[in-house]
């Protein structure tokens, strides 16, 4: 029998260390919210392949959609011979994304590739070079998206020089406000700061787009105040700047709305989606105003594998599942329960510095001291390891890797959810002592 250790030795021999894994285990199979490793141990999955399996592992209807499509054709390249599922999926995304204006959608393979294309489209349309991104943002690992990403280690360190014309603003990280203010008396200074930014960092006439996550994912489940995006969006509109919402992690129901930006009542010019869109098959999309999406010349967008038909069929099945199983309401229920339990943890354990949530996107920020807010990075690492030993898979987030960010499948049962939350509490109490 293959063991995790044997496979890990092989992995270390044949795969570069840069391709890191949080957990030293290998999957044998996965179903619903459970992953079974090669040694037969079962884990409750609170990571969901980093927020990719909102509909659960190997959902029967997603499997059927994939199998049906495989029987017909696997690849023709949409740029050579087109196929209906691509067009059908584009139509559905144009319908369900916020914005009552005319929209078009194109598909690529990964989140990073979607962000790259959104930036290409914004630059092409505006004829301007600059992009504004945010502190603690994560947009991917390609040269441009790594440059848009904020965290140095491990994502950027040693990989420079970075792509030019990227300018970085503070995010609305209320727990660690860059301006030393408190909500609501701050009057959302961090959003209005964009106006100052045009004088101190980059002139508005040179800015093609502002790209922002409605809730920071990798940055630590940071949830801006309700007014924040409306202000940013309005300022962008005043200056002809394309507002791009990166919904790659927040999208597909995670926050109790199909797209997190809906909570903020903002209609972005472009939305990029990925991760959970196709139940685990690589696919990402860019949906935007028709006049933006149609601006680049024919042949300027796309790629060999972009919008693979199997992935498009899986995504159509995922959309059906959201309706059939009302996964958006389920995200709300999960979020309520997780938030309650995490608030209890905050009452009991001083290591829990902050608890914040939007739908099922609920995070705990762990700190060594509540006054100094020194990040409890080592504690978080130990917590994740101990949880795994107890049968729960989790991942951390945040510039200091001191935030727990559960990304469980939205089809998780109440029992599995309780079990997972119990494991977190048990592990915190053991390490805290």
Ligand X SMILES: Cc1ncc(COP(=O)(O)O)c(C=O)c1O
Provide the binding-site residues for ligand X, judged by CB under 6 A. 50, 110-112, 115, 138-140, 213, 217-218, 246, 248-249, 274
> In the β-sheet with 403-404, what is the strand arrangement from edge to edge?
352-358, 361-366, 403-404, 396-397
Residue with Cβ nearer ligand X (50 or 210): 50
Place of tokens 């391709």: 19
Q: Which of 152, 192, 156, 155 is nearest to 172 (CA)?
A: 192
Nearest distance, CB of residue 248 and ligand X, angstroms: 4
Residue with Cβ nearer ligand X (43 or 138): 138
The helix (H) or strand (E) run that includes residue 120 is: helix 111-126
Give the pair of three-digit tokens for residue 194.
């964009």
Place of tokens 């995304």: 93
Nearest distance, CB of residue 356 and ligand X, angstroms: 17
Nearest distance, CB of residue 214 and ligand X, angstroms: 9
Residue with Cβ nearer ligand X (218 or 365): 218
Residue with Cβ nearer ligand X (51 or 357): 51
Residue with Cβ nearer ligand X (186 or 301): 301
Residue with Cβ nearer ligand X (51 or 256): 51
The region, left, alpha or beta by phi > 0 then psi within -120 to 50, assigned to residue 161 is beta
Question: Which 3 state secondary structure label does DSSP give 193?
Answer: helix
Residue with Cβ nearer ligand X (93 or 423): 93
Query: Which residue is nearest to ligand X, using beta carbons?
Result: 111
Q: Which of 388, 405, 407, 389 is nearest to 397 (CA)?
A: 405
Q: How far apart are CA 132 and CA 198, in angstroms?
A: 10
Q: Which of 118, 150, 120, 117 is nearest to 133 (CA)?
A: 150
Peptide bond into 161 cis (omega under 30): yes
Residue with Cβ nearer ligand X (139 or 356): 139
Residue with Cβ nearer ligand X (56 or 251): 251
Nearest distance, CB of residue 218 and ligand X, angstroms: 5
Nearest distance, CB of residue 13 and ligand X, angstroms: 25
Nearest distance, CB of residue 196 and ligand X, angstroms: 26
What is the Cα Rg of the chain in Å?
A: 21
Q: How far apart are CA 356 and CA 185, in angstroms?
A: 19
Nearest distance, CB of residue 146 and ligand X, angstroms: 10
Q: How far apart are CA 358 and CA 255, in angstroms?
A: 5
Nearest distance, CB of residue 57 and ligand X, angstroms: 18
Residue with Cβ nearer ligand X (223 or 421): 223
Pairing mode, strands 166-169 and 361-366: unpaired
Place of tokens 């349309």: 125
Give the pair of three-digit tokens for residue 180.
């030393």
Pairing mode, strands 166-169 and 392-393: unpaired
Nearest distance, CB of residue 247 and ligand X, angstroms: 8
Nearest distance, CB of residue 252 and ligand X, angstroms: 12
Q: How far apart are CA 273 and CA 251, in angstroms?
A: 6
Pairing mode, strands 130-134 and 207-212: parallel
Q: Which of 164, 161, 139, 159 is nearest to 149 (CA)?
A: 139
């Amino acid at each position: 029998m293959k063991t995790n250790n044997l496979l890990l030795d092989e992995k270390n021999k044949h795969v570069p260390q840069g391709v890191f894994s949080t957990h030293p285990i290998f999957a044998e199979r996965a179903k619903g919210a459970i992953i079974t490793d090669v040694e037969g141990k079962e884990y409750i999955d609170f990571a969901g392949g980093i927020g990719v399996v909102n509909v659960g592992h190997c959902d029967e209807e997603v499997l059927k959609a994939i199998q049906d499509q495989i029987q017909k054709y696997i690849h023709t390249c949409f740029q050579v011979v087109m196929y209906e599922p691509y067009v059908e999926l584009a139509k559905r995304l144009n319908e369900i994304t916020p914005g009552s204006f005319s929209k078009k959608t194109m598909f690529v393979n990964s989140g990073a590739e979607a962000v790259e294309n959104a930036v290409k489209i914004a630059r092409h349309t505006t004829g301007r070079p600059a992009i504004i991104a945010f502190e603690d943002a994560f947009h991917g690992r390609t040269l441009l998206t790594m440059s848009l990403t904020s965290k140095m280690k491990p994502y950027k360190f040693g990989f420079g020089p970075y792509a030019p014309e990227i300018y970085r603003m503070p995010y609305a990280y209320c727990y660690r406000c860059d301006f030393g203010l408190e909500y609501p008396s701050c009057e959302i200074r961090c959003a209005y700061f964009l106006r100052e930014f045009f004088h101190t960092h980059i002139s508005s006439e040179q800015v093609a787009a502002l790209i922002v996550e409605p809730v920071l994912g990798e940055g630590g489940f940071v949830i801006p105040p309700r007014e924040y995006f409306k202000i940013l969006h309005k300022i962008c509109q005043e200056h002809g700047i394309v507002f791009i919402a990166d919904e790659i992690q927040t999208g597909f129901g995670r926050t109790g709305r199909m797209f997190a930006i809906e909570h903020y009542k903002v209609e972005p010019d472009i939305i990029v989606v990925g991760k959970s869109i196709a139940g685990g098959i690589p696919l990402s999309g860019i949906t935007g105003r028709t006049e933006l999406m149609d601006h680049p010349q024919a042949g300027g967008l796309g790629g060999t594998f972009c919008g693979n038909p199997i992935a498009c069929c899986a995504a159509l099945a995922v959309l059906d599942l959201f309706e059939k199983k009302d996964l958006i309401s389920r995200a709300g229920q999960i979020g309520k329960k997780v938030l309650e339990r995490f608030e209890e943890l905050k009452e009991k354990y001083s290591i829990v510095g902050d608890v914040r949530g939007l739908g099922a996107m609920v995070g705990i920020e762990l700190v060594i001291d509540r006054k100094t807010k020194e990040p409890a990075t080592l504690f978080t690492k130990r917590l994740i390891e101990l949880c795994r030993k107890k049968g729960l898979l989790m991942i951390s987030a945040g510039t200091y890797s001191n935030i727990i960010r559960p990304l469980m499948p939205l089809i998780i049962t109440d029992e599995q959810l309780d079990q997972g939350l119990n494991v977190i509490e048990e592990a915190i109490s053991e390490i805290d002592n």
